[in-house]
Amino acid sequence: MEIGLTDIAKVGRTLGLDVGDRWIGVSLSDPEGILASPLTRITRMGTEATIEAILQLVRQYEVKRIVAGLPYSMQGGLGQQAIKVLDFLHELRQHLEIPVEAVDERLSTVAAGRRMREAGIVKKRKKEKIDAAAAAIILQAYLDEVRPP
């Protein structure tokens, strides 16, 4: 079922994911689908344990959809990391009855690092928070795109 642009506010909370090899940055929208905020960083512990950690967040926050960043190349193609993300999302979908979408995430981690530098966040803390901040950038871009003017 495709959700129209005007229906996004009725959907509820959306979880944003920035999927990496070692960690997954997680962000969460407000119930109205207006604002994305960094939530946490999940350490990848094998596919099943990682999926269970995401399922716990889905249950805890009553998430109605998941949006994950897909790292297209600057030319728009799918590289090795993008294929890994798609494989992980395929596995995740097997455990969920809510939509899981992949959206373009090019430069989200770069933007997150820049924002954290501008905010004066020290390097050690930045390393801990950059994945969730990147997930929030991915999710906010998605929310801005689907929200009616």
Task: Give me the sign of the Cα torsion angle 125, 131, 135, 141.
Answer: positive
Cα separation, 40 vs 20, whole angstroms:
14
Q: What is the pTM of this model?
A: 0.81
Q: What is the mean pLDDT of residues 27-44?
A: 96
> CA torsion, points 99, 24, 112, 78, in degrees to nearest 10?
-70
How many domains does the chain contain in total? 1
| Residue 14, pLDDT above cutoff 60 | yes
| Residue 146, pLDDT above cutoff 90 | no
Over the chain, what is the mean pLDDT? 83
| Residue 124, pLDDT above cutoff 70 | no
Q: What is the mean pLDDT of residues 127-141?
A: 85
Q: What are phi and psi of 67, to 5 degrees?
A: -120, 125
The CATH number of the domain where 20 resides is what? 3.30.420.140
| Residue 117, pLDDT above cutoff 80 | no
Comparing 67 with 146, the larger pLDDT belongs to 67
Position 104 scores a pLDDT of 85
CA 37 to chain CA centroid, nearest Å: 10
- Domain with 14, as residue range(s), is 5-146
